[in-house]
Structure 1
Amino acid sequence: MERQRRAVSLVLLLLVPTLLAGSIASTPDIQQQVEPSAWPDGGAAYDNMQQLANFGYRRIDTTANENGRDWIVTELEAMGYEVERQPFTSDECSNCENIVVTINGTLENNWMVAGAHHDAICYSPPPVPGITYPGCTSSGAYDDGTGSGALLELARVFMEWNITPTHTWKLGWWDYEEWQGSG
């Protein structure tokens, strides 16, 4: 478990400064860099991943998937975000939904996008299109509960920073990714 926490922490420590550096470095009107008041917490990202995994196998069109995405929305709204829900359908999915929050920057039309998917699937390599492996009970903890948990932690930190970034940020939690629909 400690190894898993360290892995999530490492991902956050590498991802966030890299994305922020790109956002800051590409803007010539920045006069000075200010140390953020909070940094992402790998333990919180791990806890988010565990909470999402607790909903069970989040295959599209299941109660577990719907409950998982509703939990993500509830967490984001509790942080103070206005959440955009993007429902859609496909031949395989009658109840899919992407979740997006926008953090407005000074450059409204210059976006940074960070995303993860909240659905899950079971398969034995190589994956076979159309096969869903009905006996599977995977919770999708690592694919992509880790990404969804880390993205929630990034959203929390952005809210705590209480700054207007240079670039507009879009944080997205995609549905239907495991079926190669990529939300």
Structure 2
Amino acid sequence: MNISVPRRVTAVAALAALALAGLTGTSATASPAAAAAAPDIPLANVKQHLTDLQSIATANGGNRAHGRTGYKASIDFVKAKLDAAGYTTTLQTFTSSGATGYNLIADWPGGDPNQVLMAGSHLDSVTSGPGINDNGSGSAAVLETALAVARSGYQPSKHLRFGWWGAEELGLIGSKYYVNNLPTAERAKVKGYLNFDMIGSPNPGYFVYDDDPTIEKTFKDYFAGLGIATEIETEGDGRSDHAPFKNVGIPVGGLFTGADYVKTAAQAQKWGGTSGQSFDRCYHSSCDTTANINDTALDRNSDAIAHAIWTLSSGTTTPPTGTVFENTADVSIPDNGAAVTSTVNVTGVTGNAPSNLAVGVDIVHTYRGDLVVDLVAPDGSVYSLSNRSGGSADNIVQTFTVNASSEVANGAWKLRVQDKASIDTGYISGFKLTFP
């Protein structure tokens, strides 16, 4: 973060109205349904990214600032993780203060290219320290959320894009460059930008940007579900990387845990911590190291990021059409046992199945990370939908898109589910196929 003046944030969370500004809406491939549940983001993974960023700073003069070797090493570190996970990455260069700067853009394959949901954070630090809270915290959480998308094989209706910005500390240089160089037609495709700048402050608050109502409500509702009160973000409002997006009319939102502004007694009573002390006493200082992170705040905000990504990317503005074949009979899933199936018999459809067959899955289970879920075509061909992804989150309520164009449409299609671990249990609640 490139400021040292007061800042405000307000909290928030799940879907507002299922069709506001193109950010939310009904599914294009199945009947309107709840957004797919986001996976739990492992705190240990996020902290490992911070440890790696600290090591990079330590090996490069103690910082990761624009124009310094530590920043380029940070970009290379993040890019390698995303490349290995299957993202299409682009390294964008610009010049500021006589030095080459870098933005990293990562696109997840699939989704409607005309409806892009983007999340980002600045990756640079100031020259005086390693910048682990500001803004390793946001960068690491966005990175781990992107990796969770890949691990889960998530196929949202919208196209997902992630960004890591350079030279934010010099005045939002990298994000301004990115937005200013987006053609007008491409800007129109970006339906929302989520910004995360300092989300692990050691004396944390829980602040939410109050820009776009749908994004704001998504975050507020999430924290309300945890019993955590939030406030509107005011400490330097608009002075992070969401500002260039907002200035060209793109809906924005984000989270923040506080910088050098002082926590009040009322805030300490609400959130814990120490009143009369800065949210981050190491803001823009050499002590902004891995010791300068509140694990609880980092964990909560990382999960909130994933929740927003999953919630806001799941729907499109196109209403459902087509013929639906559905089985709503419950099928128990044995704990750490044999696979079970739910069958849908498709009749009266000419030719092959479509390349965008919508597979609606409704599984009630107390640990979705135990489950292997496949679609089995009438000829026995298997299409993997979920392979023990999602961690400790409950249930799989999601519409998957399958290219089944090589399959004859008519016949018995099966949803096959197997619990591969012990203790947690559940059942198939529903299974449906939607043919356009």
User: Which of the numbers 172, 175, 184 marks the counterpart of 1:181?
Assistant: 172
Q: How many residues align?
A: 152
What's 2:270 paired with? none
Uncovered stretches (5+) of structure 1, i.e. residues with no partner: 1-13, 123-135
Cα distance in 2, alignment partners of residues 65 and 45 from structure 1 = 19
Q: Does residue 76 of the first structure (1) align with residue 82 of the second (2)?
A: yes
Whichever residue aligns with residue 163 of structure 2, its letter is G
Aligned positions of 1:62-141 closer than 5 A = 62-90=68-96, 92-122=97-127, 136=128, 138-141=129-132
The 1:34–1:181 alpha-carbon spacing in structure 2 relative to 1, beyond 3 Å, is closer
Task: Report SS of the residue matched to 1:165.
Answer: coil
Whichever residue aligns with residue 159 of structure 1, its letter is A
2:118–2:161 CA contact under 8 A, matched in 1: yes
Residue by residue over 1:27-54, the C-alpha shift from the partner in whole angstroms, topping out at 9 and shown as x without a partner, is: 2225334755843112211211221122
Cα distance in 1, alignment partners of residues 35 and 114 from structure 2 = 24
In terms of fraction of residues, the more strand-rich structure is 2
Give 1:105 shift: 4.8
Give 1:99 shift: 0.3
Cα distance in 2, alignment partners of residues 101 and 116 from structure 1 = 12
What's 2:48 paired with? 47
User: Which of the numbers 26, 29, 38 marks the counterpart of 1:28?
Assistant: 26
What's 1:167 paired with? 158
The higher radius of gyration belongs to 2
In terms of fraction of residues, the more helix-rich structure is 1
Deviating above 2 A after TM superposition, structure 1's stretches of 4 or more consecutive aligned residues are 29-39, 103-107
TM-score for the superposition, normalised by structure 1: 0.73
The 1:69–1:106 alpha-carbon spacing in structure 2 relative to 1, beyond 3 Å, is closer
The 1:103–1:121 alpha-carbon spacing in structure 2 relative to 1, beyond 3 Å, is same
Cα distance in 2, alignment partners of residues 37 and 141 from structure 1 = 25
Cα distance in 1, alignment partners of residues 66 and 111 from structure 2 = 37
Q: Does residue 142 of the first structure (1) align with residue 143 of the second (2)?
A: no
What's 1:61 paired with? 67
1:54–1:139 CA contact under 8 A, matched in 2: no
Cα distance in 1, alignment partners of residues 38 and 117 from structure 2 = 21
Deviates more, 1:31-40 or 1:110-119: 31-40
Uncovered stretches (5+) of structure 2, i.e. residues with no partner: 1-10, 58-62, 175-436
1:60–1:93 CA contact under 8 A, matched in 2: no
Whichever residue aligns with residue 85 of structure 1, its letter is L
**More relative contact order in 1 or in 2 (CA 8 Å, sep 6+)?**
1
Task: Report SS of the residue matched to 1:84.
Answer: strand
1:59–1:65 CA contact under 8 A, matched in 2: yes
Residue by residue over 1:72-94, the C-alpha shift from the partner in whole angstroms, topping out at 9 and shown as x without a partner, is: 1111112121211101112x142
Give 1:182 shift: 3.5
The 1:102–1:93 alpha-carbon spacing in structure 2 relative to 1, beyond 3 Å, is farther
Give 1:163 shift: 2.7
Cα distance in 1, alignment partners of residues 113 and 133 from structure 2 = 33
Task: Report SS of the residue matched to 1:169.
Answer: strand
Cα distance in 2, alignment partners of residues 107 and 78 from structure 1 = 23
What's 1:158 paired with? 149
